Structures are given as C-alpha cells and as structure tokens.
Homo-oligomer: A and B are copies of this chain.
Amino acid sequence: MARKDQIRQKAQALFRERGYRATSMRDLAETLGMEAASLYNHISSKEELLQQICFAMADQFFEAVEPVVASPLGPKEKLRAAIEAHLGVIAASADASAVFLHEWRHMGEPFLNDFKLMRRRYEKMIRAIVEEGISLGMFRKIDPSLVVRTLLSGTNWTYESYKSHRLQGKLSEQEISEITSILVEGIITR
C-alpha cells in the first residue's frame, strides 16, 4: 500500500512534467528503481493511475469549497473564501492539481464523462455565489458563467509557482490572498 502511494506520487510528478501520453510506464518504473512489469503488481493500468489522481483531486476541491458555500457568509466574503480554498488545494498538491487541470481528457469512458459532470457541478456551485451577488447588486452584471471561468482560469497558473524564477516556493498565505483579491475585486460593484 505504501508502495502504491509512492507510485502515485511519482506518476503525478511525471504526468505533470511531461504529460500523460508522453510518460511511459518504463519512465515511471525507472524513477522508482524497478522494471515496468513490476508496476503491475501494484496497479492495474496506466489509466487507473490517471483516474485516481484526477478524482482524488476532485474530492479535495469539493471538500475545501463545499463548506464555504454552505456557510452563512455574504456573497463577497463567500466568493473570496471559495477562491482562497480553491487556491489552497492547488498549493497543497501542485503536481496532482496540474494533472487534474490538464491531463483529464486522456481518461477513457465512462470516467471521462463522470469527470466532466463533476467539473460542471463544481462550476455550478461557484456560479451560485456569483449569481447571488449579482441579484443583491453586490457584483457587476456580467454573465455568471463567464465570470466563473475567468475566476477559476485565473488561478490555474499557481501550481507552477514554485518553478518560477520570481515566485519560488509555495505561494504564501499573503500571495494567495492577493491573487484572490485581484480576481474578486474585479467583479464587485463600485
């Protein structure tokens, strides 16, 4: 079991660095000091690795953001808290987040469809905050779907922050707060 976790961790790093299709099972085995065939004592297929990474991250995002949505905060504070929670998940699992964001399309059915449905549900959850804010006159009247995509997309670079020249290491609490602020302030009515 511990071995399987090691495999998954290395798979996350390689899938993120090179992409799922460009990572061979031989590559993965090599980083673990074993032969490719030996991997199959711990996993059943390459795609199973991808599925587990993607759906485990989906769980993480929901676990972080759902309590915020259920909270009694007002739209502005709720949206801020949701984006901060979302950023916190990426910061906590940068490799797996990058795989979640970019490699999911290489899953086969029926997992692919499940994944798309899950993502739709996630966006819908955040969209509800935006819609409430608009209806209360606190947020600008802009297509909520467009708003949510811009918000989430604006966070999607952060998994690579630790590789950047200027922004090395994990994002600090303050940086997470600043990114959130940039995104949320652009939506608030003046």
Contact = CB atoms under 8 A, between A and B. Distances in A.
A79 B187 CA distance: 17
A130 B1 CA distance: 49
Interface stretch (A4-12, A42-50, A147-155): A147-155
A138 to B, nearest CB: 14
A181 B186 contact: yes
Contacts of A22: 21, 106
A120 to B, nearest CB: 9
A146 interface: yes
Contact of A142 (B19, B166, B182): B182
Contact of A156 (B140, B145, B153, B187): B153
Contacts of A152: 157
A154 B142 CA distance: 15
Contact of A155 (B18, B21, B153, B178): B153
B143 A166 contact: yes
Given A106-B19, A179-B150, A186-B185, A145 B164 contact: yes
A184 interface: yes
Contact of A167 (B21, B140, B143, B185): B143
A105 interface: yes
6 contacts: A102-B102, A150-B179, A152-B157, A156-B156, A181-B186, A186-B187
Interface of A: 18-19, 21-22, 102, 105-106, 140, 142-143, 145-147, 149-157, 164, 166-167, 175, 178-179, 181-187, 190
